[in-house]
Amino acid sequence: MATSIDVSDLDIYYGDFKAVEGVTMSIPAKSVTAFIGPSGCGKSTFLRSLNRMHEVVPGARVDGRVVMGGQDLYGSDVDPVEVRRQVGMVFQRPNPFPTMSIYENVLAGNRLNSRRMKKSEADDIVERALRGANLWKEVSDRLDKPGAGLSGGQQQRLCIARAIAVEPQVLLMDEPCSALDPISTSAIEDLIHELRTEYTIVIVTHNMQQAARFSEDTAFFNLAGAGKPGRLVEMNSTKKIFSVPDDPSTEAYISGRFG
Amino acid sequence: MSAPTTSPPAPPPARAKRRIGDVLFRGSTQVAAGIILVALAGVAIFLTAEGIPALRADAAHLAGESTFLAYAWPLLFGTLLAAFIALLIATPLAIGVALAISHYAPRRLANLVGYVIDLLAAVPSVVYGLWGANVLGPAMVPVYRWLSEHLGFLPLFAGPASGGGRTMLTAGLVLAIMALPIITAICREIFSQTPRLHEEAALALGATRWEMIRMAVFPYSRSGIVSAVMLGLGRALGETMAVALVLSAFRIVSWDLVSGTAPSTIAANIALSFPEATGVGVNVLIATGLVLFVITFAVNFSARMIVARSEKGLVR
């Protein structure tokens, strides 16, 4: 069910402001692709354009094509709501719904898709998603408790469970570990490593070791200059990016000489 | 920080210094808070002390009723009925308007609508009363006729429909419009404070805007909506001039919303009867005021308790 994503010549605008310019890349299926780059270079904006979440900001629009499983996400007949049902997203800070129990949190996406679900069916989905997110053992005895009562790392895994419960084709992660302590971070990293066998995962990270540890491919974004739009500098296999990158600015960024 | 320290003398034992500004400010805020309590207690004491003689009033001062309760009950009924109708109309409308402003309308239109709604609050209540009695009431007459003809089997619309439109429903409508601004303003404020994080969580799962509002906005603002409705209820219960102008002063218990013979409310009754009241008659009116005071207090208190209970276990 995982598919690849082909982006061609994508420009992203907020009103008159051009945030990202001319991105062309191909994200392979069933692998982890990391986006790195300095703050404000448009990597999060680009990530959000892959499930049309950037459109939540009034005035946001794109030029170009994003093709996922043979379908252009920005085709005139495509409903952004449908796109988001196929592309899961995990945010920087864990955001379980505070009034819902752990159980209801996991099912939130499924409830949107289909109104009626048998209890046994719902139970299965919850268990599978929580096992998939390595959280089942920790919460199986308190599924009816509020999701907001968990620790930060557990909440983030709950959010991942919620995203994979609808069995999306692609999983987008926007700095999923930046608000977590090192132990929780390593739990999430292990999880991402396991999820790659089933999902196409795209992750934005500020932590270069993290990108080097678990991604197959890495894309380096940078600003063309102050006040100019962000652009894709280079995309290559992670091994190559971190050893012999094509572009000198990639090398400078990775070795910590700027950024 | 950077100055070199040459064996400083032993520092004095660290003690919080009393700063004059802090002391003054703290004192003045406490006094301000105290004044509220004193004023409220003063009102309660006045109402109780002046109201007690009403319990021994005779029929002459009770408009022919034998006990104070028999006198006050129809007024209390009218007050609650008018306020209930007002909230029934105003609450969904206010939530709708607030959502439109906070989540649906384009920014400029939203600002304009918000401004106009706020202006509604600035219109004096006597103007609402005149408008209700002379414009809205007559305009609603055909509606009342239709209601009493087609839905007359319900006690609510038994009729006969009023010819002048000065009915309970008109009073409720006017009160609804008067309660609208406060409910809308508070709801709008709370809706727009919904954490972006929760809204995005819902949207990223593929929620439509309405589903996002149900998943993220309403759960977050539930207690705020209750508070807003309570403030609106306070306005509807205590409103005097508008009701006094719209309704003729009958003291009856009737569920008929479209007839011209409608129960009056406590506040309107006080306003209309006060100029002619003397002696114990004044005490009777004050006692009805005490009833209104207690009812408002009880409603507010119970609403807060409901909110507090539903908030329990909800970690923000």
- The pLDDT tens digits of the residues spanning B111-144 come to 898 889 888 888 888 899 899 888 998 888 888 8
Q: Return the residue in B108, B205, B225 with the most chain A beta carbons within 10 A, the one to mutate for interface testing.
A: B205
At B316, the pLDDT band (50, 70, 90 cuts) reads: very low
Instruction: Give the rounded percent of residues in chain A with a pLDDT score beyond 90.
Output: 35
A228: Cβ contacts below 8 Å, ≥ 6 apart: A21
User: Tens digits of per-residue pLDDT, B216-263?
Assistant: 999 888 888 988 898 888 888 888 888 888 887 777 787 877 777 788
**Do the Cβ atoms of A42 and A229 come closer than 8 Å?**
yes
Confidence of residue A89 (pLDDT cuts 50, 70, 90): very high
How many Å lie between the alpha carbon of B14 and the closest alpha carbon of chain A?
A: 35
Please, what is the average pLDDT of chain A?
88
Average pLDDT estimate for A105-115: 84
Residue B17 has pLDDT above 80, yes or no: no
Residue B308 corresponds to which amino acid? A
Q: Are A149 and A47 in contact (CB under 8 A)?
A: no
Q: Is B14 inside any structural domain?
A: no
| A193 assigned to some structural domain | yes
In a domain, A21, yes or no: yes
* pLDDT interval class at B1 (50, 70, 90): very low
The mean pLDDT of chain B is 85
Report CB contact under 8 Å: B220, A93. no
Residue B314 in this model has a pLDDT that exceeds 70: no
- pLDDT tops 50 at residue A255: yes
pLDDT value of position B92: 95
Indicate if the pLDDT at residue A1 is higher than 70: no
Identify the domain containing residue A206 by its residue range: 5-93+171-254
* First CA to last CA distance, chain A: 37
Higher pLDDT, B57 or B223: B223
- Expressed as residue numbers, the domain containing B124 is 23-315
3-state helix, strand, coil split of chain B in percent (to 5) is 75, 0, 25
How many structural domains does chain A have? 1
The neighbouring-strand residues paired with A26 are A6
Q: Could you tell me if residue A99 is inside a domain?
A: no
Please tell me the least confidently modeled range out of A99-113, B11-25, B125-139, B185-199: B11-25
Among A74-83, A148-157, B256-265, B281-290, where is mean pLDDT lowest?
Answer: B256-265
Q: What is the pLDDT of residue B167?
A: 86
Q: Is A101 helix (H, G, I), strand (E, B) or coil?
A: strand
CA-wise closest residue to B232 among B130, B132, B122, B84? B84
Compute how many other C-beta atoms are within 10 angstroms of the C-beta atom of residue B275: 6
Tokens of A46: 């680009």
Residue A155, domain member (yes or no): no
CATH number at residue B163: 1.10.3720.10
Predicted confidence at residue B259, as pLDDT, reads 77
Which pLDDT score, from 0 to 100, does residue A48 have? Answer: 92
Give how many domains chain B has, as a whole number.
1
Q: How far is A99 from chain B (nearest CA, A)?
A: 6
Does A18 reside within a domain? yes
Please give the model's pTM, rounded to 2 decimal places.
0.80
**Interchain contact, B204 vs A53, CB within 8 Å:** yes
The domain that holds A185 is classified in CATH as 3.40.50.300
Tell me, yes or no, if A81 comes closer than 8 A to chain B by beta carbon.
Answer: yes
Which DSSP state fits A231?
E
- pLDDT tens per residue across span B95-110: 999 999 998 888 889 8
Contact flag B203-A56 (C-beta cutoff 8 Å): yes
Q: Quick check: B201 and A159 CB within 8 A?
A: yes
Report the 10 Å Cβ neighbour count for B42.
10
In a domain, A159, yes or no: no
Residue A97 near chain B (CB below 8 Å): yes
pLDDT value, residue B310: 66
**ipTM for the predicted complex:** 0.87
Does residue A67 form part of some domain?
A: yes
Residues 6 or more apart in contact with residue A192 via CB below 8 angstroms: A32, A173, A176, A201, A203, A214
Choose among A25, A3, A22, A12: nearest CA to A235. Answer: A25
Evaluate whether residue B11 is within a structural domain. Answer: no
Give the angle subtended at the CA of B297 by the CAs of B305 and B71, to the nearest 5°: 135
Is A208 a domain residue? Answer: yes
Average pLDDT on A195-200 reads 90
